[in-house]
Amino acid sequence: MIKDRPKHLLDQAGYNLLPTEPFRIEFDALPELLRNSLGPLGGIQPITETMIGASGEKRQDMPSDAEIELFRNAKTRFQMISLVVNVARLSKKDGTYCGAPYALTLFPASKRGEVDERDIDAIAKLDVQKKSG
């Protein structure tokens, strides 16, 4: 993440504001290799044969009941990450604001400088499909 941003950027009207209307990130602006590597981000990673077997080969962002049971029995611990996207060139196309990403950063979840681990029950409660607004 960018720290100590130059004052002239911070002085620009709307520099730190997101559009009030819906917007999307134009991942098409990224090189193909990077774009393809972002495609599978979501859900529980890495995907294993055991998970595929438990889920019946249907993969979703949220774990299936069978996967929850698998991870609960194995006492698996998870660490969430956040994908932070810095965008430039915010423009309106077909009524929707679009921004081209210029920096992508993965941040591990931590608490007081320590890895923040969670069990499967905490992960299963997350609503990754929730829409803001």
Separation between Cα atoms, residue 53 and residue 78, nearest integer Å: 20
Distance CA 63, CA 60 (A): 7
Tell me how far apart the alpha carbons of residues 40 and 43 are, in angstroms, rounded to a whole number: 9
Domain ranges of the chain: 19-124
Q: What distance in Å separates the CA atoms of residue 49 and residue 56, rounded to the nearest whole number?
A: 10
At 71 the pLDDT is 93
Give the pLDDT score at 132: 47
Residue 72: the pLDDT is 95
Tens digit of each residue's pLDDT, the chain (133 residues):
567 778 887 787 777 777 777 888 888 888 888 888 876 667 777 778 888 888 876 777 788 888 899 999 999 999 888 888 888 777 888 888 888 888 888 888 888 888 889 999 998 888 766 554 4
CA 77 to chain centroid: 19
Q: Are the C-beta atoms of 54 and 44 separated by less than 8 Å?
A: no
pTM of the model: 0.61
